A and B are shown apart, each in its own frame.
Chain A
Amino acid sequence: MSLDLARIQFAFTSVNHFFFVPVTIGLAFLTALLQTAWYRSKREEYLRLTRFFGTLLVINVAIGVVTGLVQEFQFGMNWGQYSRLVGNIFGAPLAMEGLAAFFLESTFLGLWLFGWDKLPRRIHLATIWAVFFGSVLSGAFIMAANSWMQHPVGYAMVNGKPQLNDIWALFTNPVFVWGYAKVLFAALVTGAAVMLAVSAWQLRHGGDREVFTRSARLALVVLVPAILFTLLVGDELGVVEGRYQPMKIAAAEAQWTTSQPCSFSLFQIGGGNNDQTPTQIIAIPHLLSLLATNHWNGQVVGMNELQSQYTQQYSPGNYVPNVFIQYWGMRVMAYLGMVVLIIAVWGLWLIRRKTLATSRLFLWVAVWAAVLPFAMNTAGWFLTESGRQPWIVQGIMLTKNGISPTVSTTWLWISLIAFVLLYGTLATVDLLLMLRYSREPLPPPRTQADADAPVPAVTY
């Protein structure tokens, strides 16, 4: 019971935290681009867009920061034995994240927001890039820590305890390299989708046509390569994880038996941990071999074989993760990714024909498409984290051994309910504010006389 509650709480707070993180990284990048465009061209519309999207950025950063604190504290609060055992390895990238990245991001966000009229333009432009750089760096350390749980590297076992002996190994870990690239591209997809949706809504509702066409175009130009790379990198990440965590990938394909070549199931009815023979609706021959191994006739080891292998290697137990979550997590992520790609290409084509601003159907679709990256991100994390189960650190520690032994079920219920209520309220408020500010008109253009005067600072 304690284990389930602790896991539910961690999943709930992580998913919530990761609503805000990719928006922050993605919008910080786009806002920095807009401000750079203003700095170089001196064209007023870029300034207006910078201010407009900067406000949306700030609304999200606030919640991203405070929910991140909860993530960090939970390692000690709920996962005490885990922290005790691997804190010397897992903690190092977290501490480095704070020192090298998070200080940078937070301090410079303050400078950017409040520094409009206090810093020279060039320095002020540098501050938004510092915010973006800080957020990207921050992601690197967090992903290095997470990847270590998926594929532990750079340690030696001393008296049965893993001890760090090579910090660089954490950053050359193949799971980290591919996983981090994927997170970055996914963040750009999320930020660009939000910017596209807001621009589309404005264009549908009489916002400034020229200016919002410009922002829609910027969003699309970023979105198309970003989603393409997300899909490609995601595919390679699957191969890499298949190498180190074959069970995760086998479960993602609901592949119980070993087969060579292996077909890919597009859709199935039934399935799950107690149903090894679901009704497969469409199966594409060879595709899974290709996806999982990069070879036309590659062998995909099934869960039954892996299970008996693990039982011998470790100790008797159940090493199969939740197959339903794996199978559908994978598909939701991949299929929605395709949908986003199609929408983005459609948008680019409309821009080429110069009819984006008047295509009401596309604009309607683009507004709702903003939901997709969030669903994809969530599905992706379920796939990654649930697929690692029953391990908390692959091959080193089981999740059930990682919890804090003296935290009672009552305490867990109290904290879980408290976080659900608080996060629910905050997410609602955040969404309402985002919608409200997305529908605001652009800040008015400044008069010619003002153009050389400092831009007023943003205040609370």
Chain B
Amino acid sequence: MNNLVPFWFIIIAVLWTGFFILEGFDFGVGMLHSLVGQDDAGRRAAINTIGPLWDGNEVWLIVAAAAMLAAFPGWYATMFSGMYLVLVLLLMSLIIRGVAFEYRGKRDAARWRRTWDVLLTTGSLLAPLLIGIALGDLLHGLPINSSQNYTGSFWDLLQPYALFTGVALVLICLLHGAMFLGLKTTGDMHQRSGMLARRIAPVTCAAVVGFIIWTHVTASTAFFLNVIELLAILAVIAAVWLVYEHRDGFAFAATTITIAASIITIFVDLYPNVMVSSTSKAYNLTVHNTASNPYSLKAMTVVVVIFLPLVLAYQTWTYYVFRRRVSRQEFQPPALSPGATPEPASRPAAPSARPGS
């Protein structure tokens, strides 16, 4: 057996986990920015907590997908063609959301901004929901025939377990995002984030416990939970406790572990399958019957071993550079005093003399 095959399964699990740890709070901030921000200045402050980061975070998804194509072409082909409409919706959510960040502040009109607020919130809610449905379907099983093709309809994708996985992921992202906002904002926004976190935490906790048990029952024959499943449950319980204790930093660490352990659970319980066939066990897609050839895996292993640590290094540095909290005051419309700093390019509405004319 080629050792690189399981290695690449791990890499793909790592990429999805990295994506959800990082983009998870971006989704949460996207869903919560209106509530936490209240007025326009507050909303801008909320969006700007993730402003420099979201784009780099989203690349984790792009790389995860590309790695699946390169390392497990059969998995990629079956999953992406089978889940067609779910992925169309996902792409649209991600597009709308990404553009909303960039365009919201580009015009100073209430209706314009309100529209992008709604789109940002909706996109940020739908994206984790749809990815959750997709990941849940991998594990729970879909009608797949002997030639590795999906034979079901759109509605077959929306089975209860998959939907529940989606909802659980949305709730984890909400809590994760609320904690992130708590760490990155000041004053009333900081307080409102904490308040929201305390409301969300028990619901998230229930959802995660439910998700882990349902996953265990679906995929495992063992009676006891495995280490990762147990970790997810312990972490989410710890998160609730820490949220109520106002230990923001530790609570964020706990939600990070919750999100990581939940995603890893899916992959651990899936292995060595990559997609379960509900038609026949014999048609299951596994790491082995979908993997690339050994040479391709070797070439990509060299690249991933060099570049993934490098990526981690400069992304960590980015988080260090933007470690400061963002406050609503920075986005208040400029005061009347002439000495106030004019907003840079993103605020065209600020009157400025046309030089040279």
Residues of A within 8 A of B (CB): 51-52, 54-55, 58-59, 61-63, 65-70, 72-73, 75-78, 80-81, 83-92, 94-100, 102-104, 106-111, 113-116, 118-119, 158, 163-165, 167, 206-211, 404-407, 411, 414-415, 418-419, 422, 426, 429, 433, 436-437, 440-445, 455-460
Q: Which of B321, B331, B355 contacts A459 (CB 8 A)?
A: B331
Contact call B296/A164, Cβ cutoff below 8 A:
yes
The A-contacting residues of B in range 291-347, CB under 8 angstroms, are: 292-293, 295-296, 299-300, 303-304, 307-308, 311, 314-315, 318, 321-322, 324, 330-331, 341-346
Smallest CB–CB gap between B340 and chain A, Å? Answer: 12
Q: Which of A85, A405, A458 contacts B345 (CB 8 A)?
A: A458
CA of A52 to CA of B354, assembled, Å: 13
Most-contacted residue by chain A among B101, B293, B331, B353 (CB, 10 A): B293
Cβ contacts under 8 Å, B85 to chain A:
411, 414-415
Contact call A91/B69, Cβ cutoff below 8 A:
yes
Contact call B66/A95, Cβ cutoff below 8 A:
yes
Contact call B353/A444, Cβ cutoff below 8 A:
yes
Given contacts A106-B59, A441-B353, 7 further A-B contacts (CB under 8 A): A73-B91, A91-B71, A95-B70, A96-B303, A114-B322, A209-B356, A407-B81
Q: Which of A52, A54, A95, A404 contacts B69 (CB 8 A)?
A: A95
Contact call A102/B62, Cβ cutoff below 8 A:
yes
Smallest CB–CB gap between B48 and chain A, Å? Answer: 5
Interface assignment of B105: CB less than 8 Å from any CB of chain A = yes
**Given contacts A69-B91, A87-B73, A443-B345, A95 and B300 within 8 Å (CB-CB):** yes
Interface assignment of B214: CB less than 8 Å from any CB of chain A = no
Residues of B within 8 A of A (CB): 44, 47-48, 51-56, 58-59, 61-63, 65-67, 69-74, 76-82, 84-85, 87-88, 91-92, 94-96, 98-99, 101-107, 148-151, 154, 292-293, 295-296, 299-300, 303-304, 307-308, 311, 314-315, 318, 321-322, 324, 330-331, 341-346, 348, 352-357
Sort A-B residue pairs by CB-CB distance and give the 4 closest, nearest first.
Answer: A87-B73, A76-B80, A91-B70, A208-B356
Q: Which of B53, B150, B292, B346 contacts A55 (CB 8 A)?
A: B346
CA of A353 to CA of B293, assembled, Å: 62
Smallest CB–CB gap between A202 and chain B, Å? Answer: 10
Cβ contacts under 8 Å, A419 to chain B:
88
Contact call A95/B77, Cβ cutoff below 8 A:
no
CA of A422 to CA of B322, assembled, Å: 33
Most-contacted residue by chain A among B96, B104, B318, B330 (CB, 10 A): B318
CA of A187 to CA of B324, assembled, Å: 37
Most-contacted residue by chain B among A88, A100, A102, A441 (CB, 10 A): A88
Residue of A nearest to B330 (CB): A459
Q: Which of B78, B106, B295 contacts A163 (CB 8 A)?
A: B295
Contact call A62/B103, Cβ cutoff below 8 A:
yes
Contact call A406/B150, Cβ cutoff below 8 A:
yes
Q: Which of A52, A76, A442 contacts B76 (CB 8 A)?
A: A76
Residue of B nearest to A415 (CB): B88
**Given contacts A69-B91, A76-B77, A460-B101, A87 and B344 within 8 Å (CB-CB):** no
CA of A419 to CA of B92, assembled, Å: 8
Smallest CB–CB gap between A445 and chain B, Å? Answer: 7
Cβ contacts under 8 Å, A106 to chain B:
55-56, 58-59
Contact call B76/A99, Cβ cutoff below 8 A:
no
Q: Which of B58, B104, B299 contacts A92 (CB 8 A)?
A: B299
**Given contacts A58-B102, A163-B295, A442 and B91 within 8 Å (CB-CB):** no
Residue of A nearest to B292 (CB): A88
Interface of B is mostly: helix
Cβ contacts under 8 Å, B331 to chain A:
459
Contact call B88/A418, Cβ cutoff below 8 A:
yes
**Given contacts A84-B73, A209-B356, A414-B88, A77 and B81 within 8 Å (CB-CB):** yes
Contact call A88/B344, Cβ cutoff below 8 A:
no
Contact call B81/A459, Cβ cutoff below 8 A:
no
**Given contacts A62-B103, A429-B103, A404 and B81 within 8 Å (CB-CB):** yes
**Given contacts A69-B62, A106-B58, A422-B95, A118 and B73 within 8 Å (CB-CB):** no
Cβ contacts under 8 Å, A436 to chain B:
106-107, 348
Q: Which of A51, A59, A167 contacts B344 (CB 8 A)?
A: A51
Contact call A459/B56, Cβ cutoff below 8 A:
no
Cβ contacts under 8 Å, B92 to chain A:
418, 422
Contact call B77/A88, Cβ cutoff below 8 A:
no
CA of A378 to CA of B271, assembled, Å: 44
Contact call B102/A460, Cβ cutoff below 8 A:
yes
Contact call A415/B69, Cβ cutoff below 8 A:
no
**Given contacts A51-B344, A97-B66, A89 and B52 within 8 Å (CB-CB):** no
- Sample of 30 A–B contacts (CB below 8 Å): A62-B99, A69-B61, A72-B66, A76-B69, A77-B84, A83-B69, A87-B73, A87-B76, A87-B77, A90-B69, A91-B70, A92-B296, A96-B300, A102-B59, A102-B63, A110-B51, A114-B322, A115-B52, A118-B322, A118-B324, A163-B293, A206-B354, A405-B149, A414-B85, A442-B355, A458-B345, A459-B105, A460-B47, A460-B51, A460-B102
Cβ contacts under 8 Å, B304 to chain A:
95, 99
Most-contacted residue by chain A among B69, B148, B292, B304 (CB, 10 A): B69
CA of A107 to CA of B312, assembled, Å: 11
Smallest CB–CB gap between A113 and chain B, Å? Answer: 7
Contact call B76/A83, Cβ cutoff below 8 A:
yes
Q: Which of B62, B98, B299 contacts A164 (CB 8 A)?
A: B299
Smallest CB–CB gap between B258 and chain A, Å? Answer: 25
**Given contacts A76-B77, A415-B84, A103 and B311 within 8 Å (CB-CB):** yes
CA of A309 to CA of B308, assembled, Å: 47
Smallest CB–CB gap between A145 and chain B, Å? Answer: 10
Contact call A95/B52, Cβ cutoff below 8 A:
no
Most-contacted residue by chain B among A66, A72, A86, A158 (CB, 10 A): A66
Residue of B nearest to A403 (CB): B81
Contact call B80/A444, Cβ cutoff below 8 A:
no
Contact call B344/A69, Cβ cutoff below 8 A:
no
**Given contacts A62-B98, A62-B99, A459-B51, A110 and B318 within 8 Å (CB-CB):** yes
Contact call A75/B308, Cβ cutoff below 8 A:
no
Contact call A62/B295, Cβ cutoff below 8 A:
no
Smallest CB–CB gap between A62 and chain B, Å? Answer: 4
